[in-house]
Every structure is written in structure tokens, then in C-alpha cells.
């Protein structure tokens, strides 16, 4: 039975499953952190929300990519993924704080594509920095 858990296809499937599950949980946390409802706005055709959400999804996946690459166990991968997500969420909150002239959440919720694009770029960019810091 031990060789079953060492099979590369089993390991890949486990990692894939964990990343999907964590992504769903992390997106739910982002949903709580924003004033708009991601999937309802995307269904309405709000491109700004779609870009911001897409950036978050890419950011989470990219952090897990580095986490998988640098760690041997699923628990280490999950731990670094959670830590990286926390930093990504912190980056989003800092973005909101550093733009006092506008409320980022409101702008994205109202369909401001420029703010949605910047939000996406911040999530993607920070994910590379966070990922490169994972050991």
C-alpha cells in the first residue's frame, strides 16, 4: 500500500485536489472581504469583477505552483499556500488602503475596468513575489 502513495499520478491528483479545494475556500474568503458578490457580478457581465477575480485565481494558483515546487509533503504545500494566500489578501487590503481617493471595492463593483485591471495586475504581480519567497 505504501507504493500507492508514492505513485506520481496519485501525488499529482492529491496536489490538484488540494489546490482546487483551497482555491474554493480562498475565493470564499475574498468574497467576504469585498463589498460586491463576485459570481453574481460576473454573471451580470461585470468585466472589472471578472478581471479582479481572475487575478485572484491566477495569484492563488501561482502561489501553489511555487509551494508544490519547493515542498515535498501535502501539509507543507497547504501551509505555504495558506501563508501565501494571507499575504495576497493583505496586498489587496493594502491596495484599498493606499488609494484613499477612491474605494477600490466600490469601483470594481460598479464596473470600473481600469481599477479591475490594476487589481488583477496587483494579484498576479504579488503572487510572483510571494511565490519566489517560498522555500
**Number of domains, the chain:** 1
- Could you tell me if 71 and 77 are in contact, meaning their C-beta atoms sit under 8 angstroms apart? yes
pLDDT at 9 (0 to 100): 92
- Distance between CA atoms of residues 118 and 101, nearest Å: 15
pLDDT at 61 (0 to 100): 97
114-132 residue pLDDT tens: 999 999 999 999 999 999 9
Residue 55: count of CB within 10 angstroms of its CB: 24
DSSP label at residue 7: -
Intervals of the chain under pLDDT 50: none
Host domain of residue 27: 2-133
Amino acid at each position: 500500500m505504501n507504493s500507492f502513495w508514492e505513485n506520481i499520478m496519485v501525488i499529482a491528483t492529491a496536489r490538484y485536489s488540494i489546490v482546487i479545494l483551497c482555491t474554493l475556500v480562498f475565493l470564499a474568503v475574498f468574497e467576504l472581504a469585498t463589498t460586491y458578490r463576485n459570481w453574481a457580478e460576473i454573471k451580470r457581465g461585470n468585466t472589472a469583477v471578472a478581471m479582479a477575480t481572475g487575478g485572484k485565481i491566477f495569484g492563488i494558483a501561482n502561489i501553489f505552483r511555487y509551494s508544490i515546487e519547493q515542498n515535498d509533503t501535502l501539509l507543507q504545500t497547504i501551509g505555504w499556500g495558506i501563508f501565501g494566500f494571507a499575504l495576497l489578501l493583505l496586498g489587496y487590503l493594502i491596495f484599498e488602503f493606499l488609494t484613499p481617493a477612491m474605494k477600490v471595492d466600490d469601483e470594481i463593483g460598479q464596473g470600473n475596468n481600469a481599477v479591475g485591471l490594476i487589481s488583477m495586475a496587483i494579484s498576479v504581480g504579488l503572487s510572483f513575489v510571494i511565490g519566489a519567497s517560498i522555500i
